[in-house]
Chain A
Amino acid sequence: MKSMSYEAVMSRKNEIMKTAVGIDYSKFEFGKIGFDYEGMMANVAYSMEEMEEIQRRTKVGKTPLFELYNINKLIKKYAEVGKGARIFIKDEAANASGSFKARRAAISVYHAKKKGYKGVIAATSGNYGAAVASQAAQLGLKCIIVQEMYDSRKIGQPEIVEKARKCEAFGAEVIRLTVGPELFYTFLKIIEETGYFNASLYTPFGIAGVETLGYEIAEQMLVLEGRYPDVVVATHAGGGNLTGTARGLIKAGATSCKIVGASVDLKGLHMASDKDFNRKSFTTGHTGFGIPFATQPDRADVPRNAARVLRYMDQYITVTQGDVFFATEALAQMEGIERGPAGNISLAAAIGLAKTLDKDQIIVVQETEYTGAGKHPSPQLTFAKQNGILVKRGLPAENIPGETVVIPEHLGQIEPTILDLNSLKKRYLQNALKDYAYNDLSSEDQNYLADEVKLSIDEVKSLIQK
């Protein structure tokens, strides 16, 4: 009988995952570090037409794209003359499970069904759980969602508690765990026990599913404005949202559209800390995921992560927790649509960005998410207060992750922080070159690295030497 100890199960990780994902990643690997990313996406995933049809059948996609007239008016009030770009928002809350994650789940679960798996499993505390559960319900598959949910006192963020409820509403089994990366151990054990498909967020299916989002934005903007947007802002955590959207835009022909990543700044909080766990008001879309996943994408639950943001991102900005609560309030109070805070990270970033861009420019915020009990500014801020966080209005600079949530006094105060993308690219290169000297790499490997960070070979060389 197989040993079920932590060490034994973790050492079987690769074989468990191979069976549970059904992809032979080694087929795409070459040289010392390279792998054929585009080849993997083209061979493993589905075509745009196939994905549109799969999603149409499961109530995903073709979501509305709204211009935010009132927010745009207010942005111009706080912008210099001639500045104040127009913001449009893609209302992804209209998807089956209430978020863009339904796009990823639709393709993964369809594939699992086609390959004959009896069920699907995903490790996530985010909207992806409900998305997988909703798709599994429609295709008649079993579904297990493994969530990091509570601290050691069995106290959980209201937002995560709500997401567990939603999974159960779709008939999924939810495994609730205390904080810690050993969640992965439980995840592997259950995969072994059930033989279910690992509907990982990071397979080619999970990423390709988001391509329809970028594709739709390009098509809808052509109809509405006769041109592609100048900027698309995507929340960045694990990388799939930004990667898939950018790929879809490119496939539609919107190749000159600037791709901006946005995360909530949670500097200083440790993601695996029992104490810090309930001292943050955002459980995803934050720098605690965004930075490590950008600089080391293959830290995911599959051997090769299909979400690789540095291939696509033109700018990376952070906003404060307070900025996002302001944006959520602005959406409700001025635009008459109530949406979940975590889906409004990119909106907060776009508001700040719009003030600096010319008034004829168009920014698309590419998501919203559903809202409800727990997943809403008032329960999330009530919870923050109960956990000793000071909640008040004031200057964004007063935000200290884990200590304060400061909501800007007015829209003019939202000023996103621009991160140095080149320093992230350098960190990516350092991680990739941990075991190899750059000069010992073949030209194929060197080309791979250049593609990975969207730079020329010469630019990569000078970045490494810096």
Chain B
Amino acid sequence: MSKATNGCWVEIETQVLSSSERAPQIPLDTKKTPLLMWTRGFLVEDEAELDMMVTIETLCERKVQGKLVEINPRYDHDYGETVMALLETGVRIRKDLGGIK
């Protein structure tokens, strides 16, 4: 979906600091990048497309502006892939315990 309508749950991106505005004490690799912020909320405009500047109303009823980057953002974290080292650890632990008289 590339179009959101009024009241849609969306995520916007806002630049907080450009790379040249970043604090002096931070490491160089971080300094090369801007400080970015993402906020989620309900779209205020009647209609908007991805990459457009929009306004949202957050769960705390704040109005925040930024670039529309996601419509109906989902949580995509999961339980990962098979990790052989973990499986082997489990097997070894149980064997070890089973071996105790």
Residues of A within 8 A of B (CB): 6, 70, 73-74, 77, 119, 142-144, 150, 152, 154, 158, 161-162, 165, 168, 171-182, 185-186, 193-194, 270, 272-275, 325-326, 329-330, 332-334, 373-374, 376-383, 385, 391-393, 407, 409-411
Contacts and interface: CB of A to CB of B under 8 A. Distances in A.
B61 to A, nearest CB: 8
B1 interface: no
Contact of A73 (B27, B29, B94, B100): B100
Interface string B9-31: 00000001100011101110110
Contact of B83 (A272, A378, A410): A378
Contact of A161 (B26, B27, B75): B75
B33 to A, nearest CB: 4
A56 to B, nearest CB: 28
B58 interface: yes
Nearest to B13: A154
Interface in B29-85: 29-30, 32-41, 58-62, 75-83, 85
A335 B92 CA distance: 15
Interface of B: 16-17, 21-23, 25-27, 29-30, 32-41, 58-62, 75-83, 85-86, 88-90, 92-94, 96-97, 100
B37 A6 contact: no
Contact of B85 (A182, A333, A393): A393
Contacts of A326: 89
Contacts of B60: 119, 142-144, 173, 194
Given A6-B17, A178-B36, A182-B16, A373 B83 contact: no
Given A172-B59, A186-B16, 7 more contacts: A176-B38, A180-B23, A182-B23, A182-B35, A273-B29, A273-B30, A381-B83
Contact of B39 (A152, A175, A179, A275): A175
A168 B35 CA distance: 22
B92 A410 contact: yes
Nearest to B36: A178
B93 A274 contact: no
A333 B93 contact: yes
B93 A329 contact: yes
